[in-house]
Amino acid sequence: MNTRTFILTGIVCLLVCTSTLFAGEIIPGQMIVSASTNSLDLSKTSISGIVKVDSIKGANLYLISFPPTVSSNTVSEQLEKMKGVLKFEPNRRIRMPDVRQIGIVQPDVENQGVYTKGSDPDEFYEQTAVETIKLDSAHITATGEDVIVAVIDNGIDTNHPLFESTLTDSMYDFVDDDSSPVEDSGSAYGHGTFVSGLVLLAAPDCEIMPIRAFDEDGNGTYYDVASAIYYAIDNGANVINMSFGSPDTSSVLLDACQEAFEEGIAMVAAAGNDSSSTVLYPAGYPWVTTVNSIDSVDVIASFSNYGSHTDICAPGENLYSSIPGDTLWGIWSGTSFSAALVSGVCALMIDDDPSLTTDPIRYRLRSEAETSLDWGTVYPHDNYYGYGCLDADASVDYEVGEGVYICGDVNADGIVNSDDIYDLTDYVFYGSPTPDPLNSADIDGEIGIDIDDIVFLGNYVAGTGDEPDCSD
């Protein structure tokens, strides 16, 4: 029975990944190389059969392959000797968490009538999550117009009526290397379409940029994901949704996220579905908003990851969204889908204030999160609920109060980046320019502004240190 027939029967489908590949697993015979120039001459190595497979020109990144008879140590030794090679690492596997989990997608066979955007089906626009995160109120102020949300996933059903006139002209499939990122039938079937639908639920007038970096079974590689992030940057994305992760960090993935951070792009990632404190990447990077799931009574979902890296929680159980094929609609649970709601709210915030960048967006999401939940009060930061539950209305209508600042934004330009490091260095050693306000430069939270704050901020901007935490 093929996937579409299976959906049309209306039978509950247990999506269990049958692949033997695991996140973080090294792909034999592949290495990612970062160079100082836009060329990489492998002819100077003594290894027979080593070839350049692909490249990300703007980032000077190269994917190379070599015969299975050659050890990775031998390749590493050769690369270390090559002029212009900055660093290298094995290419690895990375996965979508809702496929690794035993997820449940329940097709809605009763709502297959003529679809009119914004009015049908009621189950989509009137689901509990809409009320929980106060979307209706937020939509009075903003709808995500002229904001591009890149969804890096396993593709999308481009023929689904929900996405009519909502997809950008720029889209790409890094799995098949073409410009048609359509989902293929497999154990991950429906994931990207479901995620994209929830982004549109939160931001109905945003544009979706579908980028396929995962195959039909939810398997991807660090190189393809990095390629997808750079593609999103180069093609004008304002928000990047990353509903995937690996317990192993990667310099190529870190560098790609850092580039997005430097461009001011909001990045949102799923915490994962291992029901543990395991940190997945890119969720674990300091500039990425990490989202975990709560259930219908505001309790952390049984499958959801948690931990000190959690920024915010959002509904993640029994959400209703688009699925591929003739049935069109279904129900699914997972942190991937909580992240999608947050990505949509980021689009609302940017619609309301186009000057917003990475850190101010994260600050608003966290400072305006709802702390009064059904079971009691969240006292931030909480390892299970972060700063609280996503509040779309408060995040969009946020007003900067007197004395409010972003820790680390030393030059008060609305973004924390390398410019702030330079200004902080000038202030510490030469006394000017004076940070505005002064507290924004107390990066390590210890009274006094000194060289330790420069080091702390430098590590944050480089993605190798903690988030700035200024003292009051």
Share of the chain above pLDDT 90, in %: 60
Contact at 8 Å (CB) between 296 and 268?
A: no
* Token output for 225: 């994901």
Give mean pLDDT, residues 81-95: 90
Quick one: 102 and 205 in the same domain?
Answer: yes
- Number of structural domains (the chain) is 3
Residue indicated by tokens 């904001």: 147
Give mean pLDDT, residues 270-299: 94
The yes-or-no verdict on residue 22 having pLDDT over 70 is: no
pLDDT given for residue 472 in this prediction: 67
Helix (H/G/I), strand (E/B), else coil: 15:
strand
Q: Is residue 385 part of a domain?
A: yes
Quick one: 291 and 354 in the same domain?
Answer: yes
Give mean pLDDT, residues 132-156: 97
Quick one: 103 and 196 in the same domain?
Answer: yes
Q: Is residue 38 part of a domain?
A: yes
Check residues 111 and 170 and name the one with the higher pLDDT: 170
Quick one: 319 and 202 in the same domain?
Answer: yes
Quick one: 32 and 103 in the same domain?
Answer: no
Quick one: 382 and 307 in the same domain?
Answer: yes
In the structure, what pLDDT confidence band is assigned to residue 98 with cuts at 50, 70 and 90?
Answer: low
The yes-or-no verdict on residue 107 having pLDDT over 90 is: no
Q: What is the CATH number of the domain that holds 89?
A: 3.30.70.80
Reported in sequence order, the residue ranges of 273-335 that DSSP labels E, i.e. its strands, are 289-294, 312-315, 319-322, 329-332
Q: Is residue 3 part of a domain?
A: no
pLDDT digits (tens, 9 = 90+) for 370-398: 999 988 999 988 999 999 999 999 999 98
Q: What is the CATH number of the domain that holds 465?
A: 1.10.1330.10
Quick one: 278 and 163 in the same domain?
Answer: yes
Contact at 8 Å (CB) between 411 and 423?
A: yes
Quick one: 307 and 198 in the same domain?
Answer: yes
Quick one: 102 and 89 in the same domain?
Answer: no
Predicted model pTM: 0.86
Give mean pLDDT, residues 256-281: 94
- β-pairing, 13-15 vs 103-107, is antiparallel
- β-pairing, 172-173 vs 61-65, is unpaired
Domain boundary among 362, 396, 430: 396
Check residues 237 and 36 and name the one with the higher pLDDT: 237
Q: Is residue 71 part of a domain?
A: yes
Cα angle for residues 74, 79, 85 (degrees, 5° grid): 165
Q: Which of 137, 145, 134 is nearest to 347 (CA)?
A: 145
Q: How far apart are CA 202 and CA 136, in angstroms?
A: 9
Give mean pLDDT, residues 70-93: 90
Cα angle for residues 151, 154, 158 (degrees, 5° grid): 75
Active site residues: 153, 191, 336
Quick one: 63 and 49 in the same domain?
Answer: yes
In the structure, what pLDDT confidence band is assigned to residue 120 with cuts at 50, 70 and 90?
Answer: low
Looking at every residue in the chain, the average pLDDT score rounds to 86
Domain boundary among 67, 95, 123: 95
Q: What is the CATH number of the domain that holds 139?
A: 3.40.50.200
pLDDT given for residue 23 in this prediction: 55
Check residues 331 and 465 and name the one with the higher pLDDT: 331
Quick one: 367 and 294 in the same domain?
Answer: yes
Reported in sequence order, the residue ranges of 345-424 that DSSP labels E, i.e. its strands, are 372-373, 376-377
Least trusted range by pLDDT, from 110-114, 173-177, 309-313, 408-412 = 110-114
Domain boundary among 79, 95, 111: 95
Q: Is residue 446 part of a domain?
A: yes
- What are the angstrom distances between the C-alpha of 130 and each of 134, 201, 202, 267, 391? 6, 8, 8, 22, 10
Give the domain extent around 432. 406-472
Contact at 8 Å (CB) between 250 and 89?
A: yes
pLDDT digits (tens, 9 = 90+) for 332-352: 999 999 999 999 999 999 999
Q: Is residue 17 part of a domain?
A: no
Q: How far apart are CA 90 and CA 77, in angstroms?
A: 13
pLDDT given for residue 13 in this prediction: 32
Give mean pLDDT, residues 132-144: 97
Quick one: 255 and 114 in the same domain?
Answer: yes
Q: Is residue 11 part of a domain?
A: no
Contact at 8 Å (CB) between 333 and 103?
A: yes
pLDDT digits (tens, 9 = 90+) for 408-446: 888 877 778 788 888 888 888 877 788 877 888 888 888
The yes-or-no verdict on residue 17 having pLDDT over 70 is: no
Contact at 8 Å (CB) between 221 and 24?
A: no
Q: Is residue 147 part of a domain?
A: yes
